[in-house]
Amino acid sequence: MDVEEVSSVVVDAAFRLHRDLGPGLLESVYEAVLARMLERRGFRVRRQKKVSFDFDGMHFDEGLRVDLLIAECLVVELKSVEALTPLHMKQLLTYLRLMNLPLGFVINFGAATFKEGVRRVVNNHHDLASSPLRVNQASKAEP
């Protein structure tokens, strides 16, 4: 399964979670439930995955953790706040760069609707043609 297929399943599961549990619980609750939902769908999910990196001749292996790493290719950062800020997306982009991964999501379960609480963040990811999340894409039957 490529990262776009994984992302489609993750968005579907997160949408169902937001719809069924509603907004406003602690991030840790959404993390545990979403991880379990994705594991039931057959994905390997790593919670609170440590991010190690090297910079300026120094090695860092503490202090940075991603909420969820799904199928070793997609990062999900979960929030339960009134509104997302640009900092949330910058943080995820930095994680993606440090881990050399193409795609991630910031999902805010504090938002009134799922649509206003989900943000897709890409890092040198160009294979968007296969994404089922793309709008206005030609169907596979069309030339």
**Closest to 102 measured CA to CA, from 119, 118, 125:** 125
Residues 108 and 101: their CA atoms lie apart, in Å, by: 21
Class of domain 3-122: alpha beta
Instruction: Please report, in angstroms and rounded to a whole number, the separation of the first and last CA atoms in the chain.
Output: 24
- What pLDDT is stored for residue 134 in this prediction? 47
The DSSP bridge partners found for residue 55 are: 58
Over range 116-121, report the average pLDDT: 96
Whether the per-residue pLDDT at 32 is higher than 50: the answer is: yes
pLDDT band at residue 136 using 50, 70 and 90 as cut-offs: very low
More confident residue, 98 or 136: 98
Domain limits of the chain?
A: 3-122
Spell out the alpha helix ranges (H) of 25-142.
Answer: 27-40, 86-99, 114-117
Which pTM does this prediction carry? 0.85
Give the H or E element holding residue 15.
helix 3-21
Give residue-wise pLDDT tens across range 58-113. 999 888 999 999 999 999 999 999 999 999 999 999 999 999 999 999 999 999 99
- What count of other Cβ atoms lies within 10 Å of the Cβ of residue 139? 5
